[in-house]
């Protein structure tokens, strides 16, 4: 992430610092402790001795909020993170430069530091700093405001990084959802295709294919493929195509039926076309369909009887059972 330009409020803070407000506070506090005037960086002159204590306290707060971090940041690295935050705070107190703070925030966000964990640390760190300030003087309030400015920059950088990663995760989830929907649709299409071509074996070497709905080129191709596969697998000698459920027979549907019948004939299977409605018969006549070699019968029952006779079988009616004296039906 490219560092942002320095915010206006940071520039104003830097100008006040260069004007001597912080320097005056630091020098006065250093003199009070017997140090030479102007020795050491501004923040370190009054909070430096507490640096390790602050780091330890910050590490404890981060550990207490470890659940808000991502898995890429293990708990054993939290003391190191706390030390990095404090080191950059002391550096910021002397330079008031936003770029390194934003860079640190981006880095910590990439490592897995959560925004809620950092906000918890910010609140605790402000309380710790206020407790160590020498009274409620203008200089002390200015120092506290500088700490707050630093934490604001750090939180803003982590929030931007977290927002970016959430966006990436959202995009990945969207792609995964789209893939799942696509796979589901493909599976549904496969099921629909299977249900739209229910090829039923009614007897050895006899198959029945009932067609329902509009018959177009694409569907006819799938039907032909499925039917030919079943014919080969079951070694069918007769295939009955029932078009009773086809509402209309246009030129496309007629051509598809003729091609399917020819393909069956090439495999040595006898095609039988049943269930042709009057309007379908008229369409076949209008299209001058070449139905030579294709048996056309009135309904499915006559088609099955025809196929059974080709197998040397005959359907005979059985005598109706008679009721005996005890009220039960008995056959002859």
DSSP 87-120: HHHHHHHHH--HHHHHHHHHHHHHHT--HHHHHH
How many residues in total does the chain contain? 332
How far, in Å, are 55, 69, 74, 161, 166 from residue 111 at the CA level?
19, 9, 9, 10, 14
Cβ atoms of 254 and 283 closer than 8 Å: yes
Band of the pLDDT at 133, cuts 50, 70, 90?
A: confident
Distance between CA atoms of residues 176 and 180, nearest Å: 6
Band of the pLDDT at 232, cuts 50, 70, 90?
A: very high
Mean of all residue pLDDT scores within the chain: 78
Would you state the pLDDT for residue 247? 80
Q: How buried is residue 275: exposed, middle or buried, by Cβ count under 10 Å (0-12/13-18/19+)?
A: buried
Distance between CA atoms of residues 10 and 201, nearest Å: 84
- Quick one: average pLDDT of 30-50? 47
Q: Please check the confidence at residue 35 and state whether its pLDDT lies above 60.
A: no
Please give the radius of gyration of the chain, using alpha carbons only, rounded to the nearest integer: 43
Distance between CA atoms of residues 164 and 158, nearest Å: 10
b/e map of 290-326 (b: 16 or more CB within 10 Å)? Answer: eeeebbebeebeebbebbbeeeeeeeeeeeeeeeeee
Q: Please check the confidence at residue 236 and state whether its pLDDT lies above 90.
A: yes
Cβ atoms of 99 and 3 closer than 8 Å: yes
- H-helix or E-strand containing 224? helix 217-234
Token pair belonging to 208: 């029945």
Token pair belonging to 332: 């002859």
Would you state the pLDDT for residue 15? 47
Q: Where in the chain is the domain with CATH 1.10.490.10?
A: 8-170
In sign, the C-alpha dihedral spanning 187, 199, 230, 252 is negative
Dihedral Cα 287, 291, 297, 301, nearest 10 deg: -110
Q: How buried is residue 117: exposed, middle or buried, by Cβ count under 10 Å (0-12/13-18/19+)?
A: buried
How far, in Å, are 1, 154, 192, 197, 213 from residue 244 at the CA level?
68, 75, 19, 14, 10
Higher pLDDT, 276 or 197: 276
Distance between CA atoms of residues 53 and 15, nearest Å: 30
- H-helix or E-strand containing 269? none
Distance between CA atoms of residues 115 and 156, nearest Å: 9
Would you state the pLDDT for residue 303? 92
Architecture per CATH, 8-170: Orthogonal Bundle (1.10)
Would you state the pLDDT for residue 20? 36
Could you tell me which of 147, 128, 130, 146 has the C-alpha nearest to residue 56?
128
Distance between CA atoms of residues 190 and 297, nearest Å: 31
- Quick one: average pLDDT of 52-79? 87
Higher pLDDT, 21 or 155: 155
Would you state the pLDDT for residue 38? 36
- Quick one: average pLDDT of 108-116? 89
Would you state the pLDDT for residue 241? 92
CATH topology classification for 200-310: Transcription Regulator spoIIAA (3.30.750)
DSSP 2: P
Q: Where in the chain is the domain with CATH 3.30.750.24?
A: 200-310
pLDDT tens figures, 174-209: 999 999 999 988 888 777 766 667 888 999 999 999
The Cβ of residue 206 has, within 10 Å, a number of other Cβ atoms equal to: 24
């Amino acid at each position: 992430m490219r560092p942002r330009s320095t915010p206006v409020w940071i520039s104003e803070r830097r100008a006040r610092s260069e004007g001597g407000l912080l320097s005056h506070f630091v020098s006065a506090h250093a003199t009070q402790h017997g140090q030479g005037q102007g020795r050491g960086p501004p923040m370190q002159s009054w909070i430096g001795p507490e640096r390790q204590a602050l780091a330890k306290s910050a590490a404890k707060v981060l550990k207490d909020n470890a659940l808000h971090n991502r898995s890429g940041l293990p708990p054993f690295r939290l003391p190191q993170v706390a030390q990095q935050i404090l080191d950059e705070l002391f550096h910021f107190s002397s330079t008031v430069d936003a770029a390194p703070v934003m860079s640190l925030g981006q880095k910590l966000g990439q490592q897995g530091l959560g925004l809620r964990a950092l906000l918890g640390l910010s609140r605790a760190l402000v309380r710790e700093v206020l407790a160590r300030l020498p009274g409620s003087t203008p200089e002390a309030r200015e120092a506290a405001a500088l700490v707050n400015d630093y934490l604001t920059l750090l939180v803003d950088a982590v929030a931007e990084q977290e927002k970016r990663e959430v966006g990436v995760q959202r995009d990945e989830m969207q792609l995964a959802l789209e893939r799942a929907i696509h796979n589901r649709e493909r599976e549904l299409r496969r099921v629909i295709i299977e249900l739209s071509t229910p090829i039923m074996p009614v007897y050895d070497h006899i198959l029945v294919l009932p067609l329902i709905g509009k018959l177009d080129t694409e569907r006819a191709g799938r039907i032909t493929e499925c039917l030919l596969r079943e014919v080969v697998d079951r070694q069918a000698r007769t295939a009955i195509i029932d078009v009773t459920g086809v509402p209309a027979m246009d030129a496309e549907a007629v051509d598809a039926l003729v091609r399917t019948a020819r393909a069956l004939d090439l495999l040595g299977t006898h095609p039988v076309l049943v269930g042709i409605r009057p309007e379908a018969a008229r369409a076949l006549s209008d299209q001058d369909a070449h139905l030579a070699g294709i048996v056309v019968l009135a309904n499915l029952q006559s088609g099955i009887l025809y196929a059974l006779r080709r197998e040397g079988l005959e359907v005979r009616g059985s005598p109706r059972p008679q009721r005996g004296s005890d009220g039960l039906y008995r056959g002859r």
